[in-house]
Amino acid sequence: MLRSLSFQFILDFFELTQIDSTKILQRLGIESFDEFDVILQQSLASRSAQQSSHDYIIQSSTLENSLSYLFTPFIHAVLNRDTIYIAPRQNIVEQVYAHYFRLDALELENQQSITDMNLCLDLVPTEFNAAEFNIYALAKALLDPACQHLTMIGDSGLDPASKQQLESLFQVQISEIVLDQKQFNLSDINFKKLFWKRKTPELAQVCQSIAQENAALVSRQFHMKLDDAEHLIDDLMYSEHLFEKLSVFGEFTETIFKNSLESKLRYAHE
């Protein structure tokens, strides 16, 4: 069975339109289809023996002004779950995240990010169409032998039978969440103060929405009652644990960016 697992095997799960497979491989850091196939097979063979566990959260679509799931990876990281979050780099993503950390550093030191910060953010360029994004995100998760759980927010492009087959073959639990339609006027939100202990009524309403929309995922991941999960997320936002995580991650990205820049300058002067 291992030998039949390949890049084409993953493509066959999707209704393909126009796919640039080379672009997908390049972003994965893989040079050829043969190399991909070998890594995929090795990943499956070693998954059951992994000591560490990575949760993948794939936001396959983002609605302008719908922001709750942008904070999902930070909630999970605060709860000590190693989390890889993959999303299209759309306007709302850049607009919100820019308040907290340096976006230019996200492409650097991904392994150090997951080790030191319990999270890694992979914001995929908008040059990827919806099908390319879904294939890339699924492939990245399946290539990681530590991937134990995969949550897809929005349209995954997979039918129930395909999802069940992938779960069985790759020994990975796959969950799907329907994207909530609740929207906010982002210009009215003071993101710097959003997760402070003391909140205005307007910011409290935003936090309530974030807690409600993330409760189902936290409940499932940590085997909690839905109400308990919502209260836990509330506690993270009012105790400033989430604020502290975002602040530390901001310092981390600044350090990574500075070190990268200094390395380039040294190289240029050699």
Mean pLDDT by 10 residues, the chain (270 residues): 76 83 95 94 91 90 71 94 92 90 81 84 91 93 94 85 91 85 82 93 93 91 93 94 93 86 65
Quick one: which of 116, 144, 127 has its CA closest to 56?
144
**pLDDT given at position 31:** 94
What is the structure's pLDDT at 233? 96
| Paired residues of 87 in beta bridges | 123
Q: Which domains does the chain have, with CATH numbers?
A: 2-269 (3.40.1030)
CA angle (191 as vertex; 234, 134 as ends), nearest 5? 80
b/e code 64-94 from CB counts within 10 Å (16+ = b):
eebbbbbbbbbbbbbbebbbbbbbbbbebbe
Strand duo 54-59 + 173-177: pairing: unpaired
Q: With both helix axes pointing from N to C terminus, report the angle between 33-47 and 21-28 in degrees, rounded to the nearest 10.
A: 50
pLDDT at 145: 95
Looking at residue 257, what is its pLDDT? 86
pLDDT of the residue at 187: 87
Q: Model pTM greater than 0.85?
A: yes
CA distance 150 to 260: 31
